[in-house]
Amino acid sequence: MSVGTQSRGAAMAPRARGPAAGSGERWAAIVGGTALGLAGMRRGDWVGLTLAALGGGLVYAGAAGVPIAGRVRVASLIPAPEREPTTVQANVTIAVPLETVFRFWRNFANLAKIMDHLDAVEVESATRSCWKARGPGGMRVVWHAEIDKERENELLSWHTVEGADLPHRGQVMFHPAPGGRGTEVRLTMVYRPPGGQAGRAVARMFGTAPGQQAREALRKLKYILETGEVPTIAGQPHGQRGMMKVTP
């Protein structure tokens, strides 16, 4: 059959190979890539992640003998496009008065108690705050946010300021629960991570399921406000669930 003939012929034909990198080029790639990677890790931001990724690529190319010039593409010099924004929502009913829930959230420093990726939120003014988070490999990410809409005991809305590593908007709405059961809380987050590998690394800070993280944040909010404590397994090697006292 013709197919069998072509397959046999293709197998017998020598495979075309590109030129291998010379030893000097390989060492230059390894040394340069290592230096670039170290410089990127010292920066600790998403630009540093990009530098570290480029450095890793150079080290790999040098070790594998891949000609650097043959791997360069014009597209690599063009900034990666932004991703489509991701929107997540979560709801919870909390058996405490509406005013108590609003007051807790209005103090943005409290958000580090319910959002796992946050190390701290520092309130700088009545409307501005500094958010400090941790990402993959201990990467530190810091951004500033401003409240742009507030209706007491009803709504809070905020957005990151220009230049944030992870641009996003957040809104939380508060309503009396039916039957006097407390307060209904609806959280909406819309974020647009930058494109490329750096953006993916920053986005991993929020986990592979941001909706689940939003639900977990509201679950902790409910537990704190209803009990004054939040479950924790910190410092317990066998994983037993303990309690950490929280002051709203």
Instruction: Return the pLDDT at 151.
Output: 97
Mean pLDDT computed over 17-28: 57
Question: Which of the given ranges, 2-11, 143-152, 189-198, has the highest pLDDT on average?
Answer: 143-152
Q: Are 206 and 117 in contact (CB under 8 A)?
A: yes
Taking 80 as the threshold, does the pLDDT of residue 114 lie above it? yes
Please indicate whether residue 23 or residue 237 has the higher confidence score (pLDDT): 23
Mean pLDDT computed over 177-201: 80
Write out pLDDT tens, residues 139-186: 788 899 999 999 999 999 999 998 876 788 999 999 999 999 999 999
Angle formed at CA 188 by CA 226 and CA 193, multiple of 5 degrees: 125
Number of H helices, E strands in the chain: 6, 9
SS3 of residue 243 by DSSP: strand
Structure tokens at 238: 């066998």
Distance CA 26, CA 38 (A): 18
Percentage of the residues of the chain whose pLDDT score is greater than 90? 38
Average pLDDT, the chain: 73
Instruction: Return the pLDDT at 163.
Output: 80
Distance CA 125, CA 127 (A): 5
Instruction: Return the pLDDT at 44.
Output: 53
Distance CA 49, CA 153 (A): 41
Please indicate whether residue 3 or residue 188 has the higher confidence score (pLDDT): 188
Instruction: Return the pLDDT at 149.
Output: 97
SS3 of residue 87 by DSSP: strand
Angle formed at CA 36 by CA 34 and CA 41, multiple of 5 degrees: 95
Distance CA 55, CA 219 (A): 41
Ranges of each domain in the chain: 20-77, 86-245
**CATH class of this structure's domain 86-245:** alpha beta
Distance CA 88, CA 190 (A): 7
Mean pLDDT computed over 227-234: 67
Other residues' Cβ atoms within 10 Å of the Cβ of residue 22: 11
Instruction: Return the pLDDT at 28.
Output: 64
Write out pLDDT tens, residues 78-95: 444 555 778 989 999 999
Mean pLDDT computed over 193-212: 60
Instruction: Return the pLDDT at 97.
Output: 97
CB under 8 Å, gap of 24 or more: what pairs does 164-168 form?
A: 165/45, 165/46, 165/141, 165/194, 165/202, 166/141, 166/191, 166/193, 166/194, 166/202, 166/203, 166/205, 166/206, 167/191, 167/192, 167/193, 167/194, 168/192
CA dihedral 220, 178, 151, 90 (to 10 degrees): 40
Least Cα distance to 174 among 86, 228, 88, 103 occurs for: 103
Mean pLDDT computed over 61-79: 50
Instruction: Return the pLDDT at 146.
Output: 97
Taking 50 as the threshold, does the pLDDT of residue 17 lie above it? no
Q: Label the pairing between strands 183-191 and 86-94.
A: antiparallel
Instruction: Return the pLDDT at 29.
Output: 59
Structure tokens at 175: 């309503």
Instruction: Return the pLDDT at 32.
Output: 64
Instruction: Return the pLDDT at 103.
Output: 97
